[in-house]
Amino acid sequence: MSTTHWPKSPLDGTDINVLSGILRQWCTRHQCDFDGEASQAKARELVQWFEFGVKDPSELTELIEGKHWQVHSI
């Protein structure tokens, strides 16, 4: 039997509370069920961003809203 070395830190209770709060706000804005497929897809995306190193709630919110792709003209 081999041991798997996972390079990511586990999510703690505070992390879960922050991520679920962001997801609940997203669900409210987009009028979708917290337990629905769209919400599950956004939850996966949110956790991926968090594991990538994005920890700021405002930045996470913008990322799952897709605002990081918007470019404004000068």
Q: What are the pLDDT digits (tens) for 21-73?
A: 999 999 999 999 999 999 999 999 999 999 888 999 999 999 999 876 544 54
Would you say residue 36 lies in a domain? yes
Would you say residue 24 lies in a domain? yes
| Residue whose pair of structure tokens reads 């599950």 in the numeric block | 40
| Residue whose pair of structure tokens reads 């897809």 in the numeric block | 41
Q: Output the pTM of the full model.
A: 0.78
**CA 15 – CA 36 distance, rounded (Å):** 21
Would you say residue 2 lies in a domain? no
Would you say residue 6 lies in a domain? no
H-type helices in 1-74, by residue range? 13-29, 37-52, 57-65
Burial of 71 from C-beta contacts in 10 A (0-12 / 13-18 / 19+):
exposed
Would you say residue 73 lies in a domain? no
Q: How many domains does the chain have?
A: 1
Would you say residue 8 lies in a domain? no
